[in-house]
Structure 1
Amino acid sequence: AERCSIMLQTGMGTDELETKIVFGAEEPGAASTPQTSIRIKSGEGVAGTVLKTGNSIIVNDGHKDPLFKSFDNTADFEKTIKNLISVPLKIKDRVTGVINGVNKQNDEPFTEEDQRLLEALAQQAAMAVEHARLYELAITDGLTKLFIHRYFQGRLEEEMVRARRYHTACSLILFDIDHFKKFNDTYGHQQGDIVLIEVAKLVKQTIRETVDIPARYGGEEFTIILPETDAKGAHLVAERLRKTIEAHEFQGQEQALKVTVSLGIATFPDHASVKSVLIKKADMALYECKGRGRNCSFIYDDSLADKPQP
């Protein structure tokens, strides 16, 4: 096929597909590149019908087929569709996605043999997708969708080893929500969970998406691993996050609610060369924020070693 795409459910058990991967050669006369953010409801178009029925579909008269529905805003995209094949990704009898092929080479129609071959590939792809999904579930906090504590511990160890090997810095931010127990007592734990979810989203929006590693450390405590980032750079990130959270209005039952955070920072190798010590010093810096009135960030320094800790 000139072009192929993989579409997956937007969530487990949902009735909507989202395009995740599009690949194929850009050649004169080849199918135009579709938008990769396309979403299709169950029963809509060819792929949506495959999701709904769990059966493969071959369309050899292109966009003229009654099942065909264009979801791309590119003006001439549908006119380039000569034929297409769509097969389900299945785990047992559950459809988790769809693989699409557009325009068979040499303008030939798709055949039942093509369908059998693609279904065999789809079976392997579905297993790979499911394994990836299960792994993601295993390392992700169910509430905040950040990484879990155990994953954080392993990644921090890895990043410190990498920083040591390449002679770079690696910083750790440890932060919590100020007066969160009082917040829960006042507004209830359900409202508290909403705040935790929103804070996690703000963290993801603030950091480098594929570089930094955010995790829920426990309760209302969060961590962010910042590879190749010195203390000064980590402080900039911490302050940007602090100001973002301070300015954010959290949806309450009767009115918008506000929270603040305190953030402690420690950096390898400046402050520690061992993981447990780095975490401890970030925690000491966080505790210093509490003594300074909260809603601030602080980089660890040796003066904290003589101060009493909780």
Structure 2
Amino acid sequence: MDIFQLSYFIKVVESGGNLTLASKKANISQSSLSQLISNFEKSEDVELFYRQNGRLKGLTPCGEKYYEYALQMTKLHFEMHDMVRRESLKKKGRIRIGIPSMILRIYFTSFFTKFIVENEEVKIEIVEAGSKKLHNLLLRGELDLAVLVDPTYLNKEKYEEFTLITDEICAFVSDNHPLSTKKELDWCEIESYPLATFTKDFSSHKLIIDKLKEEGVTKEMKFTSSSWNFLTAVAKESTAVVLLPSPLQYQLTEGLVMKKFSNSIPFKILLTRPVKEDYSSLERYVKGAILHCFSQRKNN
């Protein structure tokens, strides 16, 4: 197996032999994965997996050893290419990345702290703004990379999109709110209370308004704000239901609870960039580092 096939093999093992799950993780067809395993076993006259009723049921002793080597080889391959990228970056450079404030603080603080320490030669300019402004800056060519919320409304022929993580929109209420004891909420249940969320500058605003219309909730937003601290404080001190992305649960103070909806709104965060014939080594390196970081979070 080459290095890419080894990574597919690892995905199969990590998925417990479930080819359907592994194919989704590896982004290739289930039949291709099955054929990869079968062809290798036939050509090498070995068995990597035990089988039961045609399904993979755990690694054989040979498969266990092969898996350990596969982990080592893919790790060395990543480290080798990482070294090459680092050497190329010694030419130095600067890259501009646009990230919404909330996403920057919740998802990227630890990433950039570590990245800057490990890559002193790289100069990164972070543009912190609302999704709409970042969208416009990207269109004007003023950003090399932008982190946006799906849907981005970008021309797929001119811009690439990479999924970083998928969360959801939830309701934040005080711990003594009538809805606080509910396991999950239906959208109709929030219509009896004042509603609040981020301003129109945030992508989540449109997602929420569209969902309320879809669910037949006619009540308008009581108020909006660009400050999640203010919004959660209002929820804590009143009967308001504040609709915010679920990552804000990590910023909760005592007296607040987060409730999920049975029919939730996906909150998908994407890394975007303009399509170009060629990218600088710095652009490739930073983009690769971000994608690698978030793929590790998904696996964990």
Query: How high is the TM-score relative to the length of structure 2?
Result: 0.27
Query: How high is the TM-score relative to the length of structure 1?
Result: 0.27
- The structure whose RCO (Cα within 8 Å, separation 6+) is larger is 2
Higher helix share: 2
